[in-house]
Amino acid sequence: MSNTMVGLVKTADGVGNMELRELPIPEPKAGQVQIEVVATGICGSDLHIYHSDIDLAMKLPVITGHEFSGVVTKLGEGVDSVKLGDRVSGITSFQTCGKCINCKTGKTNICQDKKLIGYWYDGAFANYIVIPEINVQKLPDNVSFHEGAVLEPLCCAIEAVIELTRVKPEDLVVVMGPGLIGQLTAQLAQLCGGRVIIVGTGKDQKRLVQAKGLGIHQAVNLETEDLAKIVTEMSGGLGADIVFECSGAAAAARSGLQILRKGGQYTQVGLFGKPIEINYELIAYKEAKVTGSLGQNWLNWNLAIKLLKNKRIEVLPLVSDILPLDRWEEGFEKFANGSGLKILLEPIAKLS
Ligand SMILES: [Zn+2]
Ligand SMILES: [Zn+2]
C-alpha cells in the first residue's frame, strides 16, 4: 500500500502559488485522530488564500482546505472518544491556547493564538487529515458526507445569526450576498422568525432564484430593483432591523449601513481582503449596533449538527458541483465567477 497521498498545497506567499503535490500520509500523534477525507468544500477564504489577501496566521507550505467530512482511520495514543470507522467532520481550530479569556469562555474562534487547519496545520484538500480528538465532530447516521462537508460554514452562520445577532420573530432582516454563508444566514434568520430579504447582483441571479426556492421570503437583484425602496415599504419607513453583510463587497457594506434603521444591528460576516471606504459616522447617527463574526466554536457545532439531523436547514441543494481534486482550478474559478455555489472536491488516488 502506498504511504503517500495527493494534497493541494499553498507553496509560498503571493498570488497563486498553489499546486497538487505528492506528500506523506500524516500519522496521528497522542490525542490525535487520522481521518480519510471524503469531501472538502471550497470556501471564500480559500480564494483569499489563493490571492494571498487573508489576515489569518499561515505557515507555508501548507495543505489547504478546512470544510471536510470523512471516516476515522487511525487513532493516536490515548484517544477514547472516537472509534475507527466513525463518520466525522471537525472544528477547524487545530490549536487554541486554552489560556486566554476567549478560550476560557468558549469563544475559541477568537483565541489570541489560534492556529487553523488549512492555514497553519495541513488541511483537508488531501486524502487524509490529522486533527486533535477534541475537535472531531461525529455525523449522525442520517447526515451524509456531503452535508457533513457543509457543517463548518453552517457553524459560521450560526455564530453570526444565533450567538452574536440574535434575530427575533418579525425582525426585518437583510442579507447582503447570496453565497453559501449568505444563504445559510438567511435560512437561519427565518428559522428564528425573521422576515428575510436576500440581496445580490446580476451575476447572482441563479443564487437568488435558488434562495426563493428554498423559502427565503424575498430575493432582490440590486441592479434591477431598488433595495432602499423595498426596505422602506416593508418596514413602514423605518429601515431594516438587522443587516448581515455576507458578500465582502464594499458597495454592499455601504448600502447595508444606509438601509439599517436607527438603533438597528449590523453584522459583518464577509471579508473584503482590503480596507474599504464607508460612511462610518452613520453608526453614530443611527446608534447602530455593529459587530463582526469570525469562524465557529464548539457551541455552534453542537447546534449545527442538531439542525442537520432534524432537517431544519437545507444544505444539499446549495452544493452545486462535486469535482475530483485535480480539477481544483476549475472549482476555484466557478466559485470566483459565481457560476457555482458550494463546490466540493473529492480526493484523488495519485498525481497523473
Ligand atoms: Zn470556510
Ligand atoms: Zn486562547
Return the pLDDT at 294.
92
For residue 164, report the distance from its CA to the centre of ligand 2, in Å: 19
Contact (Cβ atoms closer than 8 angstroms) between residue 95 and residue 111: no
Same domain, 197 and 263: yes
For residue 286, report the distance from its CA to the centre of ligand 1, in Å: 32
Residue type, 57: A
Same domain, 105 and 165: no
Same domain, 110 and 144: yes
For residue 85, report the distance from its CA to the centre of ligand 1, in Å: 25
For residue 295, report the distance from its CA to the centre of ligand 1, in Å: 8
Contact (Cβ atoms closer than 8 angstroms) between residue 200 and residue 212: no
Ligand with minimal distance to 119 CA: 1
For residue 321, report the distance from its CA to the centre of ligand 1, in Å: 16
Same domain, 97 and 222: no
For residue 296, report the distance from its CA to the centre of ligand 2, in Å: 14
For residue 147, report the distance from its CA to the centre of ligand 1, in Å: 14
For residue 153, report the distance from its CA to the centre of ligand 1, in Å: 5
- Whether 168 is covered by a domain: the verdict is yes
Return the pLDDT at 207.
92
For residue 37, report the distance from its CA to the centre of ligand 2, in Å: 28
Q: CATH no. for residue 189?
A: 3.40.50.720
* CA–CA distance, 176 with 195 (Å, rounded to integer): 14
* CA–CA distance, 66 with 245 (Å, rounded to integer): 22
Average pLDDT over residues 237-261: 97
Extract long-range pairs of 200-205: CB within 8 Å, 24+ residues apart. 200/247, 203/337, 203/338, 204/177, 204/178, 204/338
* Domain boundary, last residue among 254, 277, 292: 292
Mean pLDDT of all residues belonging to the chain: 94
Q: What are phi and psi of 334, to 5 degrees?
A: -60, -35
Q: Is the pLDDT of residue 191 over 80?
A: yes
Tens-digit pLDDT profile for residues 271-299: 998 899 999 999 999 999 999 999 888 99
Q: Is the pLDDT of residue 352 over 80?
A: no
Rounded to 10 degrees, the C-alpha dihedral 258/229/272/193 comes to: 100
Rounded to 10 degrees, the C-alpha dihedral 291/292/297/301 comes to: 80
- Whether 281 is covered by a domain: the verdict is yes
Would you state the cell numbers that stand for residue 166, as one nine-digit string? 440574535
Kindly report whether the global pTM for this prediction surpasses the value 0.85: yes
Same domain, 118 and 77: yes
Q: Is the pLDDT of residue 1 over 70?
A: no
- Whether 310 is covered by a domain: the verdict is no
- Whether 13 is covered by a domain: the verdict is yes
* CA–CA distance, 255 with 297 (Å, rounded to integer): 30
Return the pLDDT at 334.
92
Tens-digit pLDDT profile for residues 157-166: 999 999 999 8
How far from the centroid of its chain's Cα atoms is residue 111's Cα? 18
- Bridge partners (DSSP) of residue 312 are none
- Whether 352 is covered by a domain: the verdict is no
Q: How many domains does the chain have?
A: 2
For residue 56, report the distance from its CA to the centre of ligand 2, in Å: 15
For residue 158, report the distance from its CA to the centre of ligand 2, in Å: 21
Same domain, 143 and 195: no
**Angstrom distances, CA of residue 250 to CA of 49, 56, 148, 176, 277:** 19, 20, 31, 11, 7
For residue 237, report the distance from its CA to the centre of ligand 1, in Å: 36
For residue 45, report the distance from its CA to the centre of ligand 1, in Å: 6
For residue 63, report the distance from its CA to the centre of ligand 1, in Å: 14
Percent of the chain's residues with pLDDT above 70: 100
The pLDDT confidence band at residue 152, using thresholds 50, 70 and 90, is very high
Contact (Cβ atoms closer than 8 angstroms) between residue 163 and residue 86: no
- Whether 305 is covered by a domain: the verdict is no
Ligand with minimal distance to 112 CA: 2
For residue 92, report the distance from its CA to the centre of ligand 1, in Å: 9
Same domain, 264 and 203: yes
Average pLDDT over residues 306-314: 95
Return the pLDDT at 218.
97
* CA–CA distance, 70 with 139 (Å, rounded to integer): 9
* CA–CA distance, 85 with 104 (Å, rounded to integer): 32
- Whether 136 is covered by a domain: the verdict is yes
Ligand with minimal distance to 44 CA: 1
Return the pLDDT at 340.
86
* Domain boundary, last residue among 251, 277, 292: 292
Same domain, 257 and 237: yes
Same domain, 174 and 276: yes
Same domain, 186 and 93: no
Ligand with minimal distance to 296 CA: 1
Q: Is the pLDDT of residue 338 over 90?
A: no
Residue whose cell numbers read 449596533: 289
Same domain, 26 and 133: yes
For residue 182, report the distance from its CA to the centre of ligand 2, in Å: 28
Return the pLDDT at 38.
98
Return the pLDDT at 102.
93
For residue 152, report the distance from its CA to the centre of ligand 1, in Å: 6
Domain of 258 in residue numbering reads as: 155-292
The pLDDT confidence band at residue 210, using thresholds 50, 70 and 90, is very high
Would you state the cell numbers that stand for residue 351, as one nine-digit string? 498525481
- Whether 14 is covered by a domain: the verdict is yes
The pLDDT confidence band at residue 46, using thresholds 50, 70 and 90, is very high
Average pLDDT over residues 120-136: 96
Same domain, 120 and 227: no
Ligand with minimal distance to 115 CA: 2
